[in-house]
Amino acid sequence: MRKVTCGRRVRLFLWMMLLVSAVIPTGCRKAKKEGEGERVLIGMSQCNLAEPWRVQMNSDVADQAKKYREIEFKQKDAQNDVIVQQSQVREFLTQGIDLLIVSPKETVPMTRPVKEVYDKGIPVIVLDREIQGTRFTCFIGGDNVLIGREAGKYLASLLNGQGNVVELMGLMTSQPGVDRHEGFIQGLKEYAQERGTPADGIKIIFSADCQWLEENGRREMASALARFEKIDGVYAHNDPQAHGAYLAAKGEGRGREKTIKFIGIDALPHEGVMYVKQGVLTATLEYPTGGKQAIDIGMKILRGEEVPKWITLGTRLFTKENVDKGGLEIPAKGPKRADLKPDKPRPSKKLGKEA
């Protein structure tokens, strides 16, 4: 038998290592396709998940993100605390995100942290609630003035231009709350002018900031019911508050829930639309989440495509007459800030040409 020397063993070992290293790149590693880029990290900060509408928004964003193989997606819940949300945005910045999606709790406090991200060259999509200034890449949201105006006109038509109304407002330090109130006032005035009814025919006899929460709407409506014998309509800035108002009227035990007209906003399928079908709400107006659009626009931004600075989404009015037909579509009148020019495209270096 031939004796194997130490030198031959070493040479044999080296040849085996060379063979293994030659096989690994083709046999164990997946080859990168030409033009295929890395995954991009998109972070989203949601102001709170106590509102069903915001839960739906998060779901819409996450579901759409799953449709893109290039996206790594992270979500954070600020739990209705603006300080927490400020910290979350800055934390995303340290984590190396490629794009930020933020739905601010409040306009003014969130302006600075969003600006910090934007000034680092990271695209920012603002959803639903505005920030001050123009230090963001794209805003996507519904037309809250339009929605409020349509609510005002519809409620005025139900009451023939005469009646006492309770307004249960959303968070009035947020732009949607302000816009839904101002739009409602415009709608009441427009109805009076168009129909020739008294300008003060519809009186807002009670209003309260309910911060978008159903329990607050129920509590404030209970106060209104205790103070006023005649209430003809309730305009709530979202469906949970409208539902809370209905429960307060029903809990009073006087049957006033059957005579008061309850109008809400959001029109989620399992909430506002369902309440209309059940006869709990008289009507609800859709406030689109913009979740799907945020991801699609985000990918366009990261690929270097030019996108509008401001995107306004339309609404739908759901009543018992049209709820089974998908509601009445009311298109947006155009972007609220048509004067804003799109940002100069800054494509992500991580995405390949075919991403």
**Could you read off the pLDDT of 246-262 as tens digits, one per residue?**
999 999 999 999 999 99
> Distance of CA 173 to CAs 95, 102, 344, Å?
30, 17, 31
H or E segment and range at residue 330: strand 328-330
Domain termination residue (choose one: 286, 304, 335):
286
Rounded CA separation 319/186 (Å): 21
Q: What local confidence, expressed as pLDDT, does residue 62 receive?
A: 98
**Residue 177, phi then psi, degrees to nearest 5:** -65, -45
Question: Token pair of 119, please?
Answer: 């000034």
Looking at the fold, whether 184 and 270 belong to one and the same domain comes out as yes
Q: What local confidence, expressed as pLDDT, does residue 131 receive?
A: 94
Between residues 99 and 26, the one the model is more confident about: 99
Q: What local confidence, expressed as pLDDT, does residue 28 receive?
A: 37
Looking at the fold, whether 202 and 249 belong to one and the same domain comes out as yes
For residue 143, pLDDT over 80 is answered with yes
Burial class (CB in 10 A: 0-12, 13-18, 19+), 300: middle
For residue 109, pLDDT over 50 is answered with yes
- Mean pLDDT check: name the lowest of 79-83, 161-165, 344-348, 350-354: 350-354
Residue the block writes with tokens 């680092």:
120
Residue the block writes with tokens 């900031």:
209
Looking at the fold, whether 154 and 260 belong to one and the same domain comes out as yes
Looking at the fold, whether 149 and 100 belong to one and the same domain comes out as no
Q: What local confidence, expressed as pLDDT, does residue 299 receive?
A: 97
Q: Which of 229, 289, 240, 295 is nearest to 262 (CA)?
A: 240
Q: Return the C-alpha torsion angle 141, 146, 149, 154, nearest 10.
A: -100
For range 124-149, the mean pLDDT: 95
For residue 31, pLDDT over 50 is answered with no
Beta bridge partners of 77: 46
Band (pLDDT 50/70/90 cuts) for residue 352 is low
For range 304-312, the mean pLDDT: 95
Percent of the chain with pLDDT over 90: 79
Rounded CA separation 88/43 (Å): 10
pLDDT digits (tens, 9 = 90+) for 87-105: 999 999 999 999 999 999 9
For range 141-161, the mean pLDDT: 97
Q: For residue 197, what are the domain limits?
A: 144-286
Specify whether the CB–CB gap between 114 and 146 falls below 8 A.
Answer: no
Sheet containing 261-266: order of strands: 202-209, 163-169, 233-236, 261-266, 283-286, 315-319, 328-330
Looking at the fold, whether 117 and 174 belong to one and the same domain comes out as no
Band (pLDDT 50/70/90 cuts) for residue 36 is low
Specify whether the CB–CB gap between 164 and 232 falls below 8 A.
Answer: yes
Counting the structural domains of the chain, the total is 2
**Residue 298, phi then psi, degrees to nearest 5:** -60, -45
In a domain, 22, yes or no: no
pLDDT digits (tens, 9 = 90+) for 201-229: 999 999 999 999 999 999 999 999 999 99
Rounded CA separation 354/181 (Å): 46
Q: What local confidence, expressed as pLDDT, does residue 50 receive?
A: 85
Looking at the fold, whether 211 and 149 belong to one and the same domain comes out as yes
Looking at the fold, whether 205 and 240 belong to one and the same domain comes out as yes
In a domain, 62, yes or no: yes
Between residues 38 and 91, the one the model is more confident about: 91
For range 178-187, the mean pLDDT: 97
Q: What local confidence, expressed as pLDDT, does residue 52 receive?
A: 86
For range 21-34, the mean pLDDT: 41
Q: What local confidence, expressed as pLDDT, does residue 33 receive?
A: 46
In a domain, 136, yes or no: yes
Band (pLDDT 50/70/90 cuts) for residue 6 is low
Between residues 118 and 27, the one the model is more confident about: 118
Looking at the fold, whether 112 and 152 belong to one and the same domain comes out as no
Q: Considering the chain, what is the average pLDDT of its residues?
A: 90
Question: Token pair of 64, please?
Answer: 């759409």
Q: What is the CATH number of the domain that holds 194?
A: 3.40.50.2300
Indicate the pTM of the whole model: 0.76
CA-based Rg of the chain, rounded to a whole angstrom? 27
Counting other chains too, the contacts that 106-115 makes at CB distance below 8 Å and 24 or more residues apart are 106/82, 106/171, 106/173, 106/174, 107/131, 107/132, 107/173, 107/174, 107/175, 108/132, 108/173, 109/82, 110/82, 110/85, 110/86, 111/135, 112/86, 113/85, 113/86, 113/89, 114/89
pLDDT digits (tens, 9 = 90+) for 39-81: 999 999 999 998 889 999 999 999 999 999 999 999 999 999 9
